[in-house]
Structure 1
Amino acid sequence: METGFTKWIIVVTVVMCCLLELIDTSIVNVALTQMMGNLSATQQEVSWVVASYAIANVIVIPMTGFLAEQFGRKNYYLFSVILFTLASMACGQSTNIWELVAFRFIQGIGGGALMATSQAILIDTFPPQQLALGQALFGMGVIIGPTIGPTLGGYIVDNYDWPWIFYVNVPVGVLAAIFTVLFIRDPERIKNAIRRPIGEIDWLGIFLLVLGVGSLQLVLEQGESEDWFESAFILAFTLLTIIGMAGFVWRELTAKQPVVDLRVLGKSRNLSVGAFLSFILGFGLFASVFVFPIFCQRILGFTAAQTGEILLPGALLSGFMMPIVGKSIQKGISQKFILPLGFIIFFVFSYWMSTQISPTAGESDFFWPLLLRGFGLSLLFLPITTMSLAGLSGKDAGQAAGLTGMIRQLGGSFGVALVGTYLERTTMQNRVGLLPNISLYDPETQQRMQGLIANFMSKGADFMQAQRQAYAALEGMLMKQTALITYSQIFLMIGTFFLLCIPLILLIKRVRPGEKVDLNAAH
């Protein structure tokens, strides 16, 4: 265990890298329009900038335990920092869209390793009795990163040019690489680990993981834009997902030295429950961060920077609360008590947001609900993580950490895909539902039309022009009202999903205060 100055330098280094990785999952979203113009790309093409990074992330995360043991954790971490930094520079230098997509994939390979391995390094830095504090610091990055991405991205896009969303990673990456060389050390178990000969590595398991998880992530990222199963492309990759995932599960359960040991799920009931709850956490975290900026910018006309500023206080509250929640767990407050409270608070946030959705809503209307969201997430991440890994040791803990990380990422992808699909399809259904309330034979509609026509004629339009403009304005009002209903329904859907998960907590085996969690292998 490290102490004093060295300990906190390591903390700063790994939390910084974790934040970088997660910020990059969302920072590009606000720059896609500018990229389309500068790189002469279509909306379909530019969506691969987001998809390629996410696909690389979700492939690498479950393999980090194996890779760190095979090459040494410090070496693997240093390589990942350097790869992420160089890929960030290359992204900013890209001259066409497919160059950018390729470099984003490479950046995602480095980034996935940063998040997963940062958790292990933090845990090794703290003594066992401070486990919850180490997890809390890691959780700060997981919760804050995706939330402040749009804030930082919006500021950069508004004041500079899109390549700078990648260039800002470079000085931080260089500093992290220097600190890694100087301060981070491998634990004894990693130093003494027997490296597998090339021929004994589970290459089939790696191939099936890449095929199955990569295809699944691609389907989730591109499904909505390709009209889901109406597309031969999506159908083909869905088939590859089924083949790859089924083959991967079979291989990892039967191989003597699997690259991802799925058998660890059978060793701990809490890990099995925790894996599902990690999926729910990812779903709520990424879905809410995805839908709120869209509402603010499409309906309320906020800039990307304004939207990010609204999200920031809740993210900061999450970060502030993490160590407090960690101390509470350390003092013996059961996760079985904290988790239901977190789920209920997240439901209240979602319900509250559904009531605040209106065409006249302002920044102040969302301040307290988003603070509540931040508080609720802080009550979910740390209890789920500590409960999932309690009682595991050595390789089992490393495999468990990688699995829960991958599942959390997939939960986020499912959340974004589901919300995006619901938004597009339900908006039109809601429009059809509202149409019977609008009829030219209805006195209220006639009165509204007459008022609009008179208004446009007063601005110089003749009667026919004013009538066409009035119809267009009425259609605009209808679509705006339809969108408001849909956004409200989405928040209620997310909240209800969280509420329905509470009974699962009854399956959790109580974790005794101070129960050992050996995360020396947790990558």
Structure 2
Amino acid sequence: METGFTKWIIVVTVVLCCLLELIDTSIVNVALTQMMGNLSATQQEVSWVVASYGIANVIVIPMTGFLAEQFGRRNYYFVSVVIFTLASIACGQSTNIWELVAFRFIQGVGGGALMATSQAILIDTFPPRQLALGQALFGMGVIIGPTIGPTLGGYIVDSNLGWPWIFYVNVPVGVLASIFTLLFIRDPERIKNAIPRPLREIDWAGIGLLILGVGSLQFVLEQGESKDWFEDSTILLFTFLAVGGLIGFIWRELTAAQPIVDLRVLGKSRNLAVGAFLSFILGFGLFASVFIFPIFTQRILGFTAAQTGLLLLPGALASGFMMPVIGKMLQRGVPQKFMIPAGFAIFVVFTFWMSRTISPTAGEGDFFWPLMVRGVALGLIFLPITTMSLAGLQGKDAGQAAGLTGMIRQLGGSFGVAIVGTILERSIHQNRGAMLPNISLYDPETVQRIQAFTQNFMARGFSAEQARQQAYAALEGILMKQVSIITYAQVFSMLGLFFLACLPLVLLIKRAKRGEKIDLNAAH
């Protein structure tokens, strides 16, 4: 265990790296339009900038335990930071869209290791009595990172620095993290004494099936909406590859003597199995809510990316500041079985509050308290799920469990964004169709509104025909705004109902035995 100055240098280093990795999952979203213009890319092509990073992340995360043992955790972490930093520079220097996509994939390979390995380093940095504090610091990065992304990206885009700077901002932190990793981070004795597996004994089949299954699944989730899901032959192909790869991966990992990801650990702890599913739900709610809110405020209310980011920031900071408080509560024996349902219930309050707050006249102040409630809810959910999932596991089992829950949380986020995006698009069309019968040229109120618009445009110098066309366009704009507001309110309500439906799962949580400890020394 490190102490004093060294301890806090390590904390700052790994938390910043974790933040960088998660910020980069969402920071590019606000710059995609600018990338399309500068790189002459279509919307479908530029979507790969997001997809390639997510695919790399979700493949690497479950393998971090094996890679850290094989090469040494400090070495693996250092190389990952260097890969992430160099790939960030290369992304900014890209001259066409496919160069950028390739470098984003490489950046995701490095970034996946940063998040998973940061948790293990933090745990080794703190003594057992401060275990919850170490987990809390890690949780700050997990919760705050995806929310800060749009804020930082919005400022960069709005300040006219250009999209490459959303990648260049990673470089100073990456350089410092590389230096501090070499100077201050040490491998625990268990990893120092570990004997690397010979190449012939490595579970290459498991690695291949993991890449095929999880990579194909992530591709389907990232690209499904833009390709109209199963109407597209490519999505169908990758769905079959995902199903086949995942079935093969599960079979291989349950039967291999030295699996790359030991799925048998799920059978050793009921709380881990329940925690894995709850991690999926947490990822779903975290990423789906971050995805939907900026779209609403920017498309419907006309907020800038920076304004939207600033709205999200206080709630994210509330989550971060809550983490040490939750850690202290856990140390004092408050059961996770009570804290997790409280967090779920508060998140449901957030979703229904948002569904009622959304309106054409909503301002920045209307969203402050609902988003603060969201921050409190996520703070109550993350840390209890993590500590509950890993309770009672030892050594390699704890490492495998941490990697699994990390991957499942990322997949939950991908499912959340994909499902919410699909519901949004389809519900908007359905709601528009439902409202159209109320707008008719035989309806006196509609006729009066069109006449008023027409006269207004004619007063601005338009001809009678041009004014009428503009009047129809204005009426269509009003209709679509109303339709969008109804749809976004419905989606927030659906998100709340999903969390409410999952609430009974907490009844499956087994209360920890008195004095039971969590061994995260191997939690890669």
Which residue does 1:65 correspond to in 2? Answer: 65
Deviations 1:344-388 (A, max 9, x none): 100000000001111111100100000110011000000000000
Amino acid corresponding to residue 360 of structure 1 in structure 2? T
Shift of 1:473: 1.0
Alignment partner of 1:136 is 2:136:
yes
Which residue does 1:126 correspond to in 2? Answer: 126
Q: How does 1:35-54 map to 2 (within 5 A)?
A: 35-54=35-54
Q: Counterparts of 1:168 and 1:124 in 2: how far apart (Å)? A: 29
Indicate if the aligned counterparts of 1:330 and 1:514 stay in contact, CA closer than 8 A: no
What fraction of aligned residue pairs are identical, expressed as a percent?
A: 80
Q: How does 1:392-471 map to 2 (within 5 A)?
A: 392-471=393-472
Which residue does 1:249 correspond to in 2? Answer: 250
Amino acid corresponding to residue 69 of structure 1 in structure 2? E
Which residue does 1:91 correspond to in 2? Answer: 91
Which residue does 1:181 correspond to in 2? Answer: 182
Q: Counterparts of 1:210 and 1:514 in 2: how far apart (Å)? A: 39
Alignment partner of 1:106 is 2:106:
yes
Deviations 1:225-270 (A, max 9, x none): 1111111110110010011000000000000000000000000000
Indicate if the aligned counterparts of 1:332 and 1:512 stay in contact, CA closer than 8 A: no
Q: Counterparts of 2:329 and 2:414 in 1: how far apart (Å)? A: 31
Shift of 1:433: 0.7
Q: Counterparts of 2:140 and 2:416 in 1: how far apart (Å)? A: 21
Deviations 1:439-464 (A, max 9, x none): 22222212212221221222222332
Which residue does 1:234 correspond to in 2? Answer: 235
Q: Counterparts of 1:411 and 1:447 in 2: how far apart (Å)? A: 49
Unaligned 5+ segments in structure 1 are none
Count, aligned residues? 523
Q: Counterparts of 1:16 and 1:512 in 2: how far apart (Å)? A: 34
Which residue does 1:484 correspond to in 2? Answer: 485
Shift of 1:466: 1.9
Indicate if the aligned counterparts of 1:353 and 1:491 stay in contact, CA closer than 8 A: yes
Q: Counterparts of 1:398 and 1:465 in 2: how far apart (Å)? A: 67
Alignment partner of 1:473 is 2:478:
no
Q: Counterparts of 2:196 and 2:211 in 1: how far apart (Å)? A: 22
Amino acid corresponding to residue 448 of structure 2 in structure 1? Q
Q: Counterparts of 2:298 and 2:516 in 1: how far apart (Å)? A: 47
3-state SS of 2:95 partner: coil
Q: Counterparts of 2:213 and 2:515 in 1: how far apart (Å)? A: 38
Alignment partner of 1:191 is 2:184:
no
Unaligned 5+ segments in structure 2 are none
Which residue does 1:313 correspond to in 2? Answer: 314
Q: How does 1:212-223 map to 2 (within 5 A)?
A: 212-223=213-224
Which residue does 1:345 correspond to in 2? Answer: 346
Q: Counterparts of 1:473 and 1:80 in 2: how far apart (Å)? A: 52
Shift of 1:127: 1.0
Amino acid corresponding to residue 506 of structure 1 in structure 2? L
Which residue does 1:504 correspond to in 2? Answer: 505
Q: Counterparts of 2:486 and 2:190 in 1: how far apart (Å)? A: 55
Q: Counterparts of 2:435 and 2:418 in 1: how far apart (Å)? A: 26
Q: How does 1:14-33 map to 2 (within 5 A)?
A: 14-33=14-33
Alignment partner of 1:77 is 2:77:
yes
3-state SS of 2:191 partner: helix
Indicate if the aligned counterparts of 1:224 and 1:420 stay in contact, CA closer than 8 A: yes
Change (3 A) 1:504 1:355: same
Deviations 1:154-176 (A, max 9, x none): 11112111111111111100100
Shift of 1:514: 4.3
Deviations 1:90-111 (A, max 9, x none): 1111111111100000000000
Q: Counterparts of 1:22 and 1:450 in 2: how far apart (Å)? A: 51
3-state SS of 1:501 partner: helix
Deviations 1:385-425 (A, max 9, x none): 00000000100000000000000000000000001111111
Displaced runs of 4 or more, over 3 A = none
Deviations 1:115-164 (A, max 9, x none): 00000000111111111111000000000000000000111112111111
Indicate if the aligned counterparts of 1:331 and 1:513 stay in contact, CA closer than 8 A: no
Task: Note the aligned Cα RMSD (angstroms).
Answer: 0.8
Amino acid corresponding to residue 89 of structure 2 in structure 1? M
Structure 2-normalised TM-score?
Answer: 0.99
Q: Counterparts of 1:310 and 1:513 in 2: how far apart (Å)? A: 42
Amino acid corresponding to residue 17 of structure 1 in structure 2? C
Alignment partner of 1:299 is 2:329:
no
Deviations 1:13-52 (A, max 9, x none): 1001000000000001111111111111111111100000
Which residue does 1:388 correspond to in 2? Answer: 389
Amino acid corresponding to residue 92 of structure 1 in structure 2? G
Moved more, 461-470 or 45-54: 461-470
Change (3 A) 1:94 1:258: same
Q: Counterparts of 1:515 and 1:379 in 2: how far apart (Å)? A: 21
Q: Counterparts of 2:523 and 2:175 in 1: how far apart (Å)? A: 25
Which residue does 1:225 correspond to in 2? Answer: 226
Shift of 1:293: 0.4
Shift of 1:65: 0.3
Shift of 1:513: 5.4
Q: Counterparts of 1:407 and 1:511 in 2: how far apart (Å)? A: 23
3-state SS of 1:392 partner: coil
Q: Counterparts of 2:497 and 2:301 in 1: how far apart (Å)? A: 25
Deviations 1:469-507 (A, max 9, x none): 111111111111111111001111111111111110000
Deviations 1:56-104 (A, max 9, x none): 0000000000000011111100110111011111111111111110000
Q: Counterparts of 1:469 and 1:79 in 2: how far apart (Å)? A: 58
3-state SS of 2:450 partner: helix
Q: Counterparts of 1:330 and 1:494 in 2: how far apart (Å)? A: 31
Indicate if the aligned counterparts of 1:77 and 1:113 stay in contact, CA closer than 8 A: yes
Amino acid corresponding to residue 79 of structure 1 in structure 2? V
Q: Counterparts of 1:399 and 1:377 in 2: how far apart (Å)? A: 24
Q: Counterparts of 1:150 and 1:472 in 2: how far apart (Å)? A: 31
Indicate if the aligned counterparts of 1:329 and 1:513 stay in contact, CA closer than 8 A: no
